[in-house]
Amino acid sequence: MFNNKTIYSILIGSMLMFLTACNITNQDDDAINQSNPTDTDSQTEGNSQPDEDINTEEEQPEVDEAEELALPTIALQKGDSGEEVKLLQKALVQIGYPITESDSYNQELVWAITDVQLQNEELYVTGIYDEATRGFLEKALAETITISPGEGLTYQENQSLDEETVEIGNPYEVLALINKSHALPEDYVPSDLVVPDVRFPFVDDKPKKQMREVAAIALEEMFAASDLESLDLFAQSGYRSYERQNGLFAQYASTYGEEQANTFSAKPGESEHQSGLTMDVTSSHVNYSLVVEFGETEEGIWLAEHAAEYGFIIRYPKGKEDITGYQYEPWHLRYVGVTAAKEIMDRGITLEEYLDERITQ
């Protein structure tokens, strides 16, 4: 039998062994906690459960609407093509124009740009996309202004008048082809007619002093340049209404016969004068007349060399009668814009040839 002292020693020993076992267990738990921390900054790629703040899927870049609808920064006109044209088309579609996407600045796009320009009095109406038009479209895309498709240009598509002639659907376009097979609408009167500040050989305030604003400004610049060369240039005849052209042609036809009259005078609707983009010019050296001899004067020679710098062409050049349908007229200036004018005059071609090469009418 154990005595009391022995029993006491056994109990003390048992208690020490129990406490030692508990301490070892706690140390093992601490070691486990240290090898598997819960701090997200210490997680390794081998963890099966990533932190909930980490996106394991590839992030998709946000679409920048403004960038997608960025407008071209270069001028564009009928016949141009490429990505810049597509950008312009997308922007116009965003505004509400029903345009079919292509890579060509076609007649549909010309119509839309003309319609846009007619809705802002500060823009020149040309059908050509330029810096001023770009600024207006940017405001429309930002929804700070409203453009209503179709509100500006009431004419839309070419209409057949007969087997040989169509009535053009966009008479405001500066590159509009007006000839014996492409006529202006009978009721067309340009809405932006002004009188250019240039010399005339008469003082009466007649409608023929007028031109469309974009052409009138260019004419003023050209006359100012000719003055620096001490030339004696005069403006003789600009805008002419459908009714006025009808009376003139009837008069010529009764005198010379219709076929002969149509070699130097246009039938009503087929005259470029009705467009407001034309001015007949002359000088004192030919007694202010409109005659072939004007082309041999200092003024006529200077115009042939420099008119294109201001956007004008000699519309009916010598040797091109079979294309234009009219006799040589060194006095007849037609505004088409600087880009087209320089190419036409440099190459010695007609407006018909220029347009035929760029687009199909």
Active site residue 329: yes
Distance between CA 76 and CA 136 in Å, rounded? Answer: 15
Catalytic residue among 329, 343, 353, 357: 329
**Which residue carries 């706690």 as its tokens?**
26
Q: Which of 97, 90, 218 has the alpha carbon at shortest distance from 148? A: 97
Q: Return the active site residues.
A: 329
